[in-house]
Structure 1
């Protein structure tokens, strides 16, 4: 759908650790009339952001936009660099729990802060990875994917009574902008699931995952049986 008013008046904060995806979404959403605050916190810029960082981003977005209708979380998509295991055996169970806690901190704090500003009809979208041949996720990436999806499911169940929808978009390990250079049709098709979930068109959709691009069936198999409702 190319309706330039699909997101008209929707006040949207785009944040998370994938700064490239955040910028692309900001440019794409602007074509549909969205009111935007794009404030990514890239993972490679240092240690994971503190809970206070998530609260700050939401507060500034609400001040700038006059409220908040949509939150797009573009990560975490990877473990912090200092927590990536150097051993082929991977992280210990204790190390994995610590890594997941740190990686999820920005996602959780931002969402919890945003929920306090949202009313019925609002939408939250998280992003996750899936393995698409010839790429394979590491055990640590798989654990992080499961953590994001479990959290998304929990939020969807809890917030449905308040009329707030929570869904996920799954993309391959290389969501590479260079592969889309000069191809507006492909770019629109890849980013359109975000537009759909952010818009009022998906007002009856919650607790769902939309797979982007290739290997959609494989995506569902690879993320623990998460199914559309």
Structure 2
């Protein structure tokens, strides 16, 4: 039998031609060129999350969509929360979960709304009798010309989406979770290597790391693990909605040691690991998926 050749990580996803493009927030998959790879064709599960009841915020596209696909193919039931404008992406994500033979839920709303952000946890638990995995992934970012031009409403939107919404949902979810449950936050390399143009976004991502470490200490005695994934440059609809020019898009991800941007599908395994029983002794960790860039 011929040996299986390992994949060269430098060209695992060779299509890195990101042409000039821009779209309003929130970014949509159908308007993103090239279309991000969420693992629709390639992810194969191995029953690592059978029966896990899961909620993913921002699960309609990008990293959240890739996690939803992977979790479903690993045997989890998946609920996703998304903005109303993202309904088409959410519908197709739900279809992919159901195609894997799992139950799916979809909640349209804004996690900046405390009532909505809390309700998605309680509604998921009511539908399935509990909540085993919470992935806090919803996020907003926008390119900034300088701190002196950062408007209050924009600053507020970033913090309320990335931090307030995360807290609202986690606060409602924790009483619904039993020993063995897992909370996973999507942080960012920006928490450790902040870019001036993403200063407010980077601030929230650094705060998320503190949140994860403190909450892991609080919930450890209850048997609930809390971890984060720190992506590097990943091609998602959020990127063309960030406001970068053609040169910045063309160079996106080229400064990594692997020489390219990542695809959402390349992060899914990190979330599966952290949610699974393979990681029963992992809590308070920040797992980098950065193409070789150090934290």
TM-score, with structure 2 as normaliser: 0.59
2:200 maps to 1:140: yes
Gap regions ≥5 residues in structure 1: 180-185, 221-229
Greater alpha carbon shift after TM alignment, 145-154 vs 109-118: 145-154
Q: Secondary structure at the match of 1:62?
A: helix
Q: Partner residue of 2:222? A: 162
2:184 maps to 1:125: yes
**Are 1:11 and 1:36, in contact at CA under 8 Å, matched by a contact in 2?**
yes
2:284 maps to 1:207: yes
Gap regions ≥5 residues in structure 2: 1-42, 87-107, 240-251, 253-262
Cα 1:101–1:188 change in 2 (3 A) is closer
Q: Partner residue of 1:50? A: 113
Q: Partner residue of 2:160? A: 102
Q: Deviations over 1:110-167 (max 9, x none)?
A: 0011101001111000001215xxx945221221111111111111111111111000
2:209 maps to 1:149: yes
2:266 maps to 1:195: no
| 2: CA distance, partners of 1:43 / 1:211 | 30
| 2: CA distance, partners of 1:195 / 1:101 | 27
**Aligned residue pairs: how many?**
205
Cα 1:153–1:18 change in 2 (3 A) is farther
2:46 maps to 1:4: yes
Deviation of 1:31 after TM superposition, in Å, equals: 1.0
Q: Deviations over 1:149-201 (max 9, x none)?
A: 1111111111111111000001124343899xxxxxx7654310000011111
| 1: CA distance, partners of 2:110 / 2:181 | 30
TM-score, with structure 1 as normaliser: 0.75
Of structures 1 and 2, the one scoring higher in RCO (CA 8 A, sep 6+) is 2
Pair member with larger Rg: 2
Determine which structure has the larger helix proportion and give its number: 1
Greater alpha carbon shift after TM alignment, 19-28 vs 188-197: 19-28
Q: Partner residue of 2:137? A: 74
Q: CA RMSD in A?
A: 3.5
Cα 1:43–1:139 change in 2 (3 A) is farther
